[in-house]
Structure 1
Amino acid sequence: MINRVEALLHPGRRRAALARAQARSDRSVVFICYGNICRSPFAELWMRRHDPEGAARYLSAGFRPGGRSSPDTAIAVSADRFDLDLRPHVSRGLDEVPEGDHLWVVMERVHRQGLMAEGVPADDIVYLGDLDPGPVERRAIIDPYGRDPEVFEAIYDRIVRCLRELPGDASA
């Protein structure tokens, strides 16, 4: 069921997110989620594959300390459904993101709040879900960690739909 408030706010949020991303299309893009093991590494890997000319400009990180692998379900779904190999991924913490001029792409409100608490200006942050070209049930890209493969598939499908809207994506 579509949340009426989200449905009403989405077109304006989408326009603003697209404009913000376009205005910063020359920056590196850092995808952020909580642990950097499911959503953000999938987004990074998908963009590297689909924008090979700009592959080096995509990174991902999380709020937890780095050094962890993606869960088996994330690895299986990304390989079977999207032909992406998350096996080599090792999570990064925010402190491992190199200094630079970044567009920060977050999955949830708490990620935006966390970045702003670290001094990242609001204008440098975009919700990935705001880029969704379709109607949305919620703004956030929910965390599939610990859930069934079907949930991972649905989340990864939405992430891909949103990523196709980012400036620089060669598959759009």
Structure 2
Amino acid sequence: MAAGSGKSVLFVCLGNICRSPIAEAVFRKMATDGGVVDKWVIDSGATSDWNIGSLPDSRGLACLRRHGTDSDHRARQVTKEDFASFDYILCMDESNLRDLNKKANSVKNSKAKIELLGSYDPEKQLIIKDPYYGSDQDFETVYEQCVRCCKVFLENNP
């Protein structure tokens, strides 16, 4: 899945309908605006299998549209192959991190660097909280965190 000479990043949350598709869309727009999108394979996925095939949450899509971004992503579960093909797997909270590290340990040729996306936040907000049971403002908070984190991640990986 990942490009031979390029770089690759997979954003991950629990269901792949709120946080990770927002992060994917934000990063894709930044890479596009920066003229480097063709150097990247960009995707998102879930640790669970709950929402496979679903569009992102309508509140998340509305938030993205308010910021001039869109997503046509369909939820998918992280596969063992993802650990071998992606350079970076960036997740949203400690539960995602535990699940991903556990799965990575069962993959012989895992090369992915698994990290919290929040580790790139200049405001030091390590955890990107799930907005699913929250308000529109919670989705806006996720968006703002993703913008800060993706900006620093892209600057660190030009």
**1:168 deviation in Å?**
5.1
On the 8 A contact 2:87/2:111 being kept in 1, the answer is: no
User: Larger relative CO (CA 8 A, sep 6+): 1 or 2?
Assistant: 1
- Letter matched to residue 132 of structure 2: Y
The aligned counterpart of 2:127 is 140
Please give the secondary structure, in 2, of the residue aligned with 1:133.
Answer: coil
Alignment of 1:121-140 (within 5 A): 124-136=113-125, 139-140=126-127
Q: 1:158 to 1:92 in 2, by over 3 A?
A: same
Q: 1:41 to 1:96 in 2, by over 3 A?
A: farther
Higher share in helix? 1
Alignment of 1:1-172 (within 5 A): 27-52=7-32, 53-55=36-38, 56-65=40-49, 66-80=52-66, 82-86=67-71, 88-95=72-79, 98=82, 99-119=84-104, 124-136=113-125, 139-167=126-154
Identity %: 26
Structure 2 residues without counterparts, runs of 5 or longer: 1-5
TM-score, normalized by length of structure 2? 0.78
**1:77 deviation in Å?**
1.1
**2: CA distance between counterparts of 1:67 and 1:29?**
20
Q: 1:151 to 1:123 in 2, by over 3 A?
A: same
**1:122 deviation in Å?**
9.9
Q: 1:169 to 1:37 in 2, by over 3 A?
A: farther
**2: CA distance between counterparts of 1:122 and 1:106?**
16
Structure 1 residues without counterparts, runs of 5 or longer: 1-25
Structure with larger Rg: 1
Q: Output the aligned Cα RMSD.
A: 2.6
Please give the secondary structure, in 2, of the residue aligned with 1:157.
Answer: helix
The number of residues matched between the two structures is: 142
Moved more, 55-64 or 27-36: 55-64
Q: 1:62 to 1:123 in 2, by over 3 A?
A: closer
> Hey, which bits of structure 1, 4+ residues long, moved more than 4 A?
96-99, 120-123
Please give the secondary structure, in 2, of the residue aligned with 1:118.
Answer: helix
TM-score, normalized by length of structure 1? 0.72
**1: CA distance between counterparts of 2:153 and 2:37?**
12
Please give the secondary structure, in 2, of the residue aligned with 1:84.
Answer: coil
On the 8 A contact 2:90/2:117 being kept in 1, the answer is: yes
- Letter matched to residue 126 of structure 1: E
